[in-house]
Amino acid sequence: MIDDSRFGLARSVTLAGPLRLDGGARLAPVEIAYETYGALNADRSNAILICHALTGDQHVASVHPRTGKPGWWTRMVGTGRPIDPARHFIVCANVLGSCLGSSGPASIDPKKDAPFAMRFPVITIRDMVRAQAMLLDHLGVGMLSAVVGGSMGGMQVLEWAATYPDRVRSAVAIATAARHSAQNIAFHEVGRQAIMADPKWNRGDYYADNDPPAAGLAVARMAAHITYLSEAGLTEKFGRRLQARPGKQDGAKSFGFDADFQIESYLRHQGISFVDRFDANSYLYITRAMDYFDLAEEHGGLLANAFDKATRFCLVSFDTDWLYPTAESRAIVHALNAAGAPVSFVELSSPFGHDAFLLDVPDLNRVVDGFLRAGENA
Catalytic site positions: 151, 321, 354
Least distance CB 288 / a second copy (angstroms): 7
Residue 283 CB, shortest distance to a second copy, in Å, is 12
| Beta bridge partners of residue 92, listed in sequence order | 35, 50
Integer angstrom CA distances of residue 117 from 46, 99, 207, 280? 38, 12, 8, 10
Q: Which amino acid is at 60?
A: V
Least distance (Å) from a second copy to the CB of residue 340? 27
Smallest distance, Å, CB 160 to a second copy? 21
Three-class DSSP labels, 11-52:
EEEEECCCEECCCCCEECCEEEEEEEECCCCCCCCCEEEEEC
- Using an 8 Å Cβ cutoff, are 342 and 355 in contact? no
Q: Taking the complex as a whole, how short is the minimal distance between the CB of residue 354 and a second copy, in angstroms?
A: 13
Rounded to a whole number of angstroms, the distance between the first and last alpha carbons of the chain is: 27
Q: Which is nearer to a second copy, 96 or 146 (CB)?
A: 96
Quick one: 194 or 339, whose CB is closer to a second copy?
A: 194
Nearer to a second copy, 9 or 196 (CB): 196
Task: State the residues that interact with a second copy by CB under 8 A.
Answer: 22-24, 118, 121-122, 179-183, 185-187, 189-190, 192-194, 196-199, 215-216, 218-219, 222-223, 226, 229, 231, 234-235, 237-240, 253, 255-257, 259-261, 263-264, 267-268, 271, 284, 288, 291-292, 294, 297, 322
What minimum distance in Å lies between the beta carbon of 33 and a second copy? 24
Containing 5, the helix (H) or strand (E) segment is none
d(CA 364, CA 174): 9
Query: Which lies closer to a second copy via its Cβ, residue 151 or residue 230?
Result: 230
Tell me phi and psi for residue 147, to 5 degrees.
-125, 130
Residue 147 or 267 having the CB closest to a second copy: 267
Q: Which CB, 122 or 143, lies closer to a second copy?
A: 122
Beta strand 144-150 pairing with 114-115? unpaired
Distance CA 51, CA 43 (A): 23
Residues 214, 216, 219, 221, CA torsion sign? negative
Buried b (16+ CB within 10 A) or exposed e, 40-77: beeeeebbbbbbbbbbbbbbbbbeeeeeeeebbbebbb
